[in-house]
Amino acid sequence: MEKRSGTDRNGSGAAQRGLWRLMLKLPAMRGRLQLLAAKSPSLNDLFEAYDEASATVERMSRDRARDECPLLEEYETVCAEIESDVIHYVLKHPLNVPD
């Protein structure tokens, strides 16, 4: 039951954090990502999902060894899939802006 702040531009703090995480992960697409995030509200859900999946990977990696936590690999795969989805989206929506 997550309360939304309602103050950030992307509709939720989780979406904003997810966007920042993706900008760190995909530095070559930083500029385009920011512009698309402002234009495409449908990306917010993807950013939120990325934030939550990345946070879960960090928590699981911190708390337990890899072989004790079979879900870690699953969440790493989810993160990789979301990165791939975002890259696909960015490439499909060219903005002609510098990165």
Partner 1 sequence: MNAEVHDLKACEVSIDDARAELERLLSDSRFRVTERQKDILRYLAERRFNGCDEGVKAYSVALDVLGRPSGFDASTDPIVRIEISRLRSALDAYYQAFGSTGGVTIHIPKGMYIALFPGTLIAHEPDEEAHGVFDLAGFDGAQDRSIPGSQLAIRQRGRGLKLAGVAAAAALVLGVAALAGVEFFGQQVVITKRPTVYILMEAAEARMQGEASQTRDALMTALTQFTTLTVAKAGYADIRSVERSGRSYEITIKYYGDADDRSVWWQIADSSTGDLLKSGLEKIDTSGKSPALIREEMAGELATRFAATRGVINNIEIHGSPEEALGNVCVLRAEYALDEGGRDQVAQSRDCLERSLAKAPADPDATALLSRVLLALPGSPDEGDMRSRALELAKAAVSSAPLSDRAYVSLMAAQFASGRTEAAVRAGNRAVELNPNNSDAAAKLALVLYSAGYKDAGVATAHDAGRLVENAPRDAMLVLALDAYASGRYSDAALLAEQINCTDFLVSTLRTAALGQLNSPDAPERLAEIKSKDPDFERSFAERVAGWHLQPDIAAGLEAGLAKAGAQIDAGAVASVKTP
The footprint of partner 1 (CB under 8 A) covers 1-4, 6-7, 9-12, 40-46, 48-49, 52-53, 56, 67, 70-71, 74-75, 78, 81-82, 85, 88-89, 92
Residue 19 in contact with residue 30, Cβ under 8 Å?
Answer: no
Closest to partner 1 by CB, 13 vs 31, is 13
Closest to partner 1 by CB, 23 vs 87, is 87
Three-state SS string over 26-81 comes to: CHHHHHHHHHHHHHCCCHHHHHHHHHHHHHHHHHHHHHCCHHHCCHHHHHHHHHHH
Beta carbon of residue 1, minimum distance to partner 1 (angstroms, whole number): 5
